[in-house]
């Protein structure tokens, strides 16, 4: 067997100018206001301080998100009353359902499905979404840690809509009180695969976690972006005062349906490898959790050329971020003993030719630990 790893010149990601920039909302021409959302003065008012409301605001044009983005906005929550002296909170949401999408009231945050004990009415939900939820009411029955926290919430297929929304990560509490009627600044940064939230003057994120955007993007890596909010037995004005958004432009060639991702993983991990003829070779989607999970016939041992390799995998959750996650080139240092190819970087896309076939794999730890890897690589190959 001849094993090797492949050095890549990855596709260039072109930094985009700010695609969305509102110093205020005197004009909302490029925005879609849904439900109870309106303009109050020069602010976007997602909901008024009234019971049982939900509203949403979306950019009418999809934005590039899969290769990274940064968004900053100021918000102010006022007019608190009812249960909990102000509820329920608002969210920054990425979704692939459309610019008229809207979720439920109360603890649903305007993006999720309502608590069935709160209403017998069948409410809408925003499927194929990921929300950064600024929650200001503690629903103990939903396992909320406090009445002042941030969570990353996600919904996939419409049939999976449940209350409460699944949380990928959350804070227990925050140093600043979200509903103190003051103006607060939020900055949300996605550097694949890490999503981070900064609040006010904090130099360190108040929340960060590995997040996979596969369920919210189209084949170009884009999604609708915007805000949702809701009230229930408690209420408040949910105001967005200004907003900027900047994404990175890159294209994706994902060839498998989103429903093919394994459940209960932060990064989309396909159930199996996908390989389709493409030009003089093949287009391959390789799951990170399968040792030597894809192969092509190669009876004469010809050289293999891999191009357009991209994707994100995580092979070491004890070192989340740049140490334990990365792209097809791996982490840059030799993995060492215990890995499929010891002299290749951990996480790199590696090949092995044996038994008249050339095999492909993520360079992970040999054995049972490999099955815990998450994510996938996607690439084109040709036998020379």
Name the band, by pLDDT with cuts 50, 70 and 90, for residue 71: very high
- Domain count along the chain: 2
Instruction: State how far the alpha carbon of 142 is from the alpha carbons of 19, 39, 139, 230, 383, in Å.
Output: 36, 31, 5, 16, 54
What was the pLDDT predicted at 343?
93
- The domain that holds 280 is classified in CATH as 2.60.120.430
Last residue of a domain, one of 223, 249, 275: 249
Residues 34 and 126 in one domain: yes
Residues 259 and 234 in one domain: no
Sheet holding 349-354, edge to edge: 2-5, 349-354, 357-362, 294-297
Residues 156 and 299 in one domain: no
Annotate 268-323 with DSSP letters as a single string: --BSS-EEEEETTEEEEEEETTSTT-EEEE-TT---EEEEEEEEEEES-GGGTTTT
Mean pLDDT of 283-311: 91
Residues 34 and 68 in one domain: yes
Residues 182 and 96 in one domain: yes
- The domain that holds 149 is classified in CATH as 2.60.120.200
154 belongs to a structural domain: yes
Mean pLDDT of 187-209: 91
DSSP 160: G
User: Sign of the CA dihedral 341, 345, 347, 353?
Assistant: negative
What was the pLDDT predicted at 15?
41
6 belongs to a structural domain: no
Distance CA 255, CA 95 (A): 19
Distance CA 284, CA 281 (A): 10
Residues 296 and 232 in one domain: no
8 belongs to a structural domain: no
What was the pLDDT predicted at 77?
98
Residues 208 and 281 in one domain: no
3 belongs to a structural domain: no
Residues 143 and 239 in one domain: yes
Distance CA 232, CA 228 (A): 14
Question: 273: domain range?
Answer: 253-383
What was the pLDDT predicted at 10?
35
Residues 242 and 340 in one domain: no
9 belongs to a structural domain: no
Residues 242 and 260 in one domain: no
| Highest mean pLDDT of the ranges 187-191, 255-259, 261-265 | 187-191
What was the pLDDT predicted at 239?
98
> Among 132, 108, 244, 235, which residue's Cα sits nearest to residue 179?
235
Last residue of a domain, one of 208, 234, 249: 249
pLDDT in tens, 33-65: 999 999 999 999 999 999 999 999 999 999 999
pTM of the model: 0.71
Q: Is the pLDDT of residue 372 over 60?
A: yes
Last residue of a domain, one of 249, 278, 301: 249
Residues 329 and 354 in one domain: yes
1 belongs to a structural domain: no
238 belongs to a structural domain: yes
4 belongs to a structural domain: no
What was the pLDDT predicted at 14?
41
What was the pLDDT predicted at 13?
38
Q: Is the pLDDT of residue 140 over 90?
A: no
Residues 119 and 260 in one domain: no
What was the pLDDT predicted at 8?
45
Mean pLDDT of 155-184: 84
């Amino acid at each position: 067997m001849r094993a090797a790893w492949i050095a890549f010149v990855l596709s260039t990601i072109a930094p985009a100018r700010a695609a969305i920039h509102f110093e205020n909302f005197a004009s909302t021409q490029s925005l879609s206001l849904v439900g109870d959302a309106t303009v109050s003065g020069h602010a976007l008012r997602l909901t008024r301080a009234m019971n049982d409301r939900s509203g949403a605001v979306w950019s009418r044009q999809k934005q590039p998100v899969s290769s990274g983005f940064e968004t900053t906005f100021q918000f102010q929550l006022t007019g608190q009353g009812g249960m909990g002296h102000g509820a329920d909170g608002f969210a920054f949401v990425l979704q692939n359902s459309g610019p008229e999408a809207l979720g439920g009231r109360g603890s649903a945050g305007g993006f999720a499905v309502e608590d069935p004990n709160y209403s017998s009415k069948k409410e809408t939900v925003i499927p194929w979404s990921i929300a950064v939820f600024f929650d200001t009411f503690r629903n103990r029955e939903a396992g909320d840690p406090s009445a002042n926290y941030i969570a990353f919430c996600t919904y996939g297929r419409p049939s999976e809509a449940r209350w409460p929304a699944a949380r990928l990560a959350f804070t227990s509490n925050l140093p600043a009180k979200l509903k103190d009627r003051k103006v607060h600044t939020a900055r949300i940064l996605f550097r694949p695969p890490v999503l981070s939230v900064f609040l006010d003057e904090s130099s360190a994120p108040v929340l960060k976690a590995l997040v996979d955007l596969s369920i919210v993007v189209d084949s170009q890596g884009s999604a609708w972006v915007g805000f949702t909010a809701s009230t229930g037995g408690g209420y408040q004005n949910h105001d967005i005062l200004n907003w900027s958004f900047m994404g990175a432009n890159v294209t994706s060639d994902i060839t498998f349906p989103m429903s093919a991702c394994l459940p209960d993983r932060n990064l989309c991990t396909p159930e199996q490898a996908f390989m389709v003829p493409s030009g003089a070779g093949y287009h391959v989607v390789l799951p990170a959790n399968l040792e030597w999970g894809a192969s092509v016939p190669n009876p004469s041992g010809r050289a293999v050329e891999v191009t357009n390799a991209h994707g994100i995998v995580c092979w070491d959750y004890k070192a989340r971020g740049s140490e334990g996650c990365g792209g097809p080139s791996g982490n840059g240092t030799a993995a060492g003993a215990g890995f499929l190819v010891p002299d290749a970087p951990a996480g790199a896309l590696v090949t092995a030719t044996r038994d008249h076939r050339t095999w492909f794999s993520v360079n992970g730890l040999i054995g049972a630990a490999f099955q815990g890897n998450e994510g996938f690589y996607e690439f084109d190959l040709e036998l020379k």
